[in-house]
Chains A and B, each alone.
Chain A
Amino acid sequence: MSQEPLAALMANKAKAVQAIVEEMTSLEDAFHYFLNLTQKQGGRHVAAAGFNSKEFESLRSLCQHESLNLLPPPLRGHAGKIHTAITPVEWGLANTGTLVLNSASEDVRLATMLADTHVALLPVSKIVPDVESIEKDLDDILKTEPATYLAFITGPSRTADIERVLAIGVHGPQALHILIMENDAE
């Protein structure tokens, strides 16, 4: 089944809630995008969580090359420093433009919560129509994991607490970039 219409819906819905959506063909491209973005914003310290050691190492050498500091895990010691963070996500829910992340790892949580900008890698194959499509998977996680922190993230953090005027970027990330990864990109 073609994922194209789902990916398009996912992108539209996410853009409607102020996320930035791009398509990437390789992990390396995604890392470059991430580092360029950080440099454009004048950031210096970046964080990555949820990657295997090979991926993490390749990002680290790219960072060195660009004179950016990839904060070493655990991130708790650098909580005040994270400018940009990159993480993979488990699923995308197309009908609301929502990312689903299993954030049981503290580093995944700190990276996605404390960064000014969060860059999320979403494999196109992991885009599903709606939350009901993964209800069984979520239920299994909640029932079988000894502890879990499942996050649905839809756009950057926001508030309308002052005069109901929408303002983006309160306590969570001020920008959310979703990089939709082609199937063989992993």
Chain B
Amino acid sequence: MIKTAQNIKSYKKQLKEALQDKFLGTALNNFNKAYRENRPGVYEGIEFEAIKRDIAQDKDAAIPRLLELFEEFKSHAEEAGVTIHLAKDAHEANQIIARIARDNAVKHIIKSKSMTAEETYLNDHLEKKGFMVTETDLGEWIIQLRHEGPSHMVMPAIHLSRYQVGDLFEKVTHQDLDAEDIDKLVKVARKELRPVFLKADMGISGANFAIADSGSLGLVTNEGNMRLVTTLPRVHVALVGLDKLLPDLKSALKILKLLPRNATGQAITSYVTWIKGANECRNAPQEKKEMHIVFLDNGRLELSKDRVFAEALRCIRCGACANVCPIYSKVGGHKYGHVYIGAIGLILTLFYHGKENDRAIVKNCLNCQACKAVCAVDIDLPFLIKKTLGAVMDEDGRKPIKNQLLSKVMPHRRLFHFLLRQAHLAQKPLARKGPMIRHLPHFFEKQHGFRSLPVIAAKPFRDRWLNMDTGVKSPAYAVSFFAGCAVDFIYPEQAEAMIKLIKTWSVKVMFPESQSCCGLPALMAAEEETAAKLAWQNYEAFQNTASDYILTICASCASHIKHYYPKVASQAGISKTDMAIFVEKVIDFSSFMVNVLNVSAEAFTTGDKKVAYHAPCHLCRGLAVTEEPRKLIEIAGLTYVPSADEEVCCGFGGSYSVDFPEISAEILGQKLDNVIQSNADILVTDCPGCVLQLRGGMHKRDSAMEVKHISEVLSEQLKKC
């Protein structure tokens, strides 16, 4: 059955196996791509952003009053002849359902798809109690026959090829089948399951909505099996998570606008069914259906009271967070979740299936923000994943060495910077004279060799700054520069290029020297205390400079400062307003050039170079800056050539690329293939982390394509005065 790795070592072994599954890789990659490409068409005329916020508000209003809504639901449903149960945990839910089956002399049970039943391992329990249970959703039937868990919340058998399904169905039907023909395989399910439907005594379904003010359920499906499951047998049991409770039909209809679109790219599914009360059922006593609804708590009520994690209860199980996840598309759901998979799975697993099952998988997140951008209920998934990682480590009561180091070193800027300077000396023998480390030291394993690593700069930016001529007569703008570690210590030339460039537009630059790491690496490692300390330090560092903007050339730093700093302001006694003023000033390089300086083509020479662009996750999603960098490339006299999947992560993710080198390498490889296919001369991006990953990958391939920070190409294109 479901075997989720309980430690990182066995997890990595599983990941390696998954990466070798060629069918899986191709199938999920195509899925990821098709999903993203179809999405704009699916949402034509639909205001996704506005509706998702509206739904999130409805959900946030419902979550604190789930028990109240439950009572309201119960009174209406009971009036309509339904028996309502509330199960405190998975075991109790399973027991209740087995008891209903026994009390009604049930033998055969048919089921329609229910993630909640997967959550409680209901089938195992019922089978142990001697009932015959048949899943009737095609995907669920397939995985039931294979004794597997679902690998996707909406398409449970997406990990299987038609040939694997064909082999399975040959065993079931004892007939030769043409597995090439998927239509025929589907008809096998229709034919084989129809008699099972007709003889079943009890049907079990889930529900997408439980509407409190009428006591009715809403179910969103495609195959038609759920309609049969809830109609043919004389007993119907619906197993419903308490989080599915909504006050009224109106809120359900709002969700219905996004759920099918987000899940399967449909405007609406084939069937949406609203069931209230014990309906007519001619093979039941009194010709009325014996109907039960089992509401499942299993940690939901506790979660609903959690200030941070309650947001996870908004989830409507559309599965989109897996669809767009670059990691899911490489390793599949069986390696990217426990029962619940995808980004939301990394979070919910801790609460519904315990820390053992979450310990390894929760580390596997790039923080690329792709899931957050598609979430239909606006859950800050990457942030909650890091919070979950922290909670797992707290429960485990021990911290990995990486975390111990982070928390000891990073809050002390001088020590941290001293160590970075030492690193330059330490790597000297490995680097010889070039900008790349020639040989990885032997304590790195060979899977880390997928990209060349840069050397730490001999002289960091903060030292070079002291000798820079930054004088500007009658400045048009005064900006404070936030460098970030990668620029300061690895790529100081990117900052020099930028400063030289904006001087042309009479911008006065200041560099508050007590600034430190933005804190994102600490947050990624769930070292929240350290991340918060760094936020406060940086806030302080910029208080004495009277600047119009705080300029960055690192998208990750900028996005982290804007989104995270306000979350931790109050703990240090920084007022909301003061912090808002601070983060409002933070601006990325491209936006500054295009929207503030309004730079025009006259300032640049024209060249015939073709430029491909990689959109950093934290710029295109983190800061929603998409047009400015591409515009800037054109303004600077270069030709921007589009390449496939520009907004897909490069696979860096800070220490992610060290923790999961094989996955990082896969994602990077695909990115580089796309860029090379564009026939560009240079690859440009605007985040030093992406430069590190992309340049290292190109170097490793011995590719002639240069990888540059946008500040560097712009400064090269500047007309000489």
Judging by beta carbons under 8 Å apart, are A161 and B270 in contact? no
A63 located at the interface, meaning its Cβ lies under 8 Å from any Cβ of chain B in the complex: no
Judging by beta carbons under 8 Å apart, are A172 and B185 in contact? no
Residue of B nearest to A166 (CB): B182
Residue of A nearest to B214 (CB): A142
Residue of A nearest to B276 (CB): A148
Judging by beta carbons under 8 Å apart, are B214 and A106 in contact? no
Judging by beta carbons under 8 Å apart, are A154 and B81 in contact? no
Judging by beta carbons under 8 Å apart, are A161 and B271 in contact? no
Alpha-carbon separation in the docked complex, A164 to B35 (Å): 11
A129 located at the interface, meaning its Cβ lies under 8 Å from any Cβ of chain B in the complex: no
Contacts of B283 in A (CB 8 A): 76
Alpha-carbon separation in the docked complex, A96 to B165 (Å): 32
Judging by beta carbons under 8 Å apart, are B231 and A109 in contact? yes
Residue of A nearest to B267 (CB): A96
Alpha-carbon separation in the docked complex, A1 to B653 (Å): 58
Contacts of B277 in A (CB 8 A): 145-148
Judging by beta carbons under 8 Å apart, are A142 and B222 in contact? no
Partner of B223, one of A80, A95, A157: A157
Residue of A nearest to B257 (CB): A131
Residue of A nearest to B158 (CB): A164
Interface set, chain B 648-663, CB cutoff 8 A to A: none
B225 located at the interface, meaning its Cβ lies under 8 Å from any Cβ of chain A in the complex: yes
Contacts of A139 in B (CB 8 A): 214, 248-250
Residue of A nearest to B157 (CB): A161
B419 located at the interface, meaning its Cβ lies under 8 Å from any Cβ of chain A in the complex: no
Alpha-carbon separation in the docked complex, A66 to B256 (Å): 43
Judging by beta carbons under 8 Å apart, are A157 and B222 in contact? yes
Residue of B nearest to A112 (CB): B227
* Nearest CB on A from B175, distance (A): 17
Contacts of A165 in B (CB 8 A): 162, 182
Contacts of A170 in B (CB 8 A): 138, 186, 189-190, 222-225
Q: Is the interface of B mostly helix, strand, loop or mixed?
A: mixed
A56 located at the interface, meaning its Cβ lies under 8 Å from any Cβ of chain B in the complex: no
A147-B280, A161-B155 are contacts. A152–B268 as well, Cβ < 8 Å?
yes
Judging by beta carbons under 8 Å apart, are A147 and B279 in contact? yes
Contacts of A109 in B (CB 8 A): 227, 231
B269 located at the interface, meaning its Cβ lies under 8 Å from any Cβ of chain A in the complex: yes
Alpha-carbon separation in the docked complex, A105 to B281 (Å): 9
Alpha-carbon separation in the docked complex, A138 to B281 (Å): 22
Judging by beta carbons under 8 Å apart, are B186 and A169 in contact? yes
A27 located at the interface, meaning its Cβ lies under 8 Å from any Cβ of chain B in the complex: no
Judging by beta carbons under 8 Å apart, are B253 and A132 in contact? yes
A140-165 vs B: 1/0 string, CB under 8 Å? 00110111111111111111111111
Counting chain A CB atoms within 10 Å of each CB, which of B224, B230, B267 scores highest?
A: B224
Judging by beta carbons under 8 Å apart, are A169 and B155 in contact? no
Counting chain B CB atoms within 10 Å of each CB, which of A114, A148, A161 scores highest?
A: A161
Alpha-carbon separation in the docked complex, A104 to B288 (Å): 11
B175-196 vs A: 1/0 string, CB under 8 Å? 0000000110111011001110
Alpha-carbon separation in the docked complex, A170 to B228 (Å): 12
Judging by beta carbons under 8 Å apart, are B225 and A171 in contact? yes
Residue of A nearest to B179 (CB): A162
Contacts of B170 in A (CB 8 A): none
Residue of A nearest to B35 (CB): A164
Alpha-carbon separation in the docked complex, A158 to B222 (Å): 6
A139-B214, A171-B193 are contacts. A153–B271 as well, Cβ < 8 Å?
yes
Judging by beta carbons under 8 Å apart, are B271 and A157 in contact? yes
Alpha-carbon separation in the docked complex, A162 to B264 (Å): 14
A184 located at the interface, meaning its Cβ lies under 8 Å from any Cβ of chain B in the complex: no
* Nearest CB on A from B69, distance (A): 15
Judging by beta carbons under 8 Å apart, are A161 and B161 in contact? no
Alpha-carbon separation in the docked complex, A181 to B560 (Å): 59
Judging by beta carbons under 8 Å apart, are B280 and A151 in contact? no
B282 located at the interface, meaning its Cβ lies under 8 Å from any Cβ of chain A in the complex: yes
Judging by beta carbons under 8 Å apart, are B185 and A162 in contact? yes
Judging by beta carbons under 8 Å apart, are B31 and A164 in contact? yes
A37 located at the interface, meaning its Cβ lies under 8 Å from any Cβ of chain B in the complex: no
* Nearest CB on B from A97, distance (A): 9
Judging by beta carbons under 8 Å apart, are A106 and B271 in contact? no
Contacts of A146 in B (CB 8 A): 80-81, 277
Alpha-carbon separation in the docked complex, A148 to B137 (Å): 24
A13-54 vs B: 1/0 string, CB under 8 Å? 100010000000000000000000000000000000000000
B156 located at the interface, meaning its Cβ lies under 8 Å from any Cβ of chain A in the complex: yes
Counting chain B CB atoms within 10 Å of each CB, which of A135, A163, A172 scores highest?
A: A163
Residue of B nearest to A157 (CB): B224
Contacts of B250 in A (CB 8 A): 135, 139
Judging by beta carbons under 8 Å apart, are A172 and B165 in contact? no
For the A-B complex with A76-B283, A143-B214, A162-B182 known, give 7 more contacts whose Cβ atoms are closer than 8 Å: A95-B267, A106-B280, A149-B230, A149-B273, A157-B271, A163-B161, A171-B227
12 pairs, CB–CB < 8 Å, chain A vs chain B: A17-B266, A80-B194, A105-B280, A109-B227, A110-B231, A147-B288, A148-B216, A149-B274, A149-B279, A163-B162, A170-B190, A171-B190
Closest 8 pairs (CB-CB, A-B): A172-B224, A147-B277, A157-B224, A161-B139, A152-B272, A142-B214, A170-B223, A150-B274
Residue ranges of B at the interface with A (Cβ–Cβ < 8 Å)? 27, 31, 34, 80-81, 136-139, 142, 155-158, 160-162, 165, 182-183, 185-187, 189-190, 193-195, 197-198, 211, 213-214, 216, 222-225, 227-228, 230-232, 248-250, 253, 256, 264, 266-283, 288
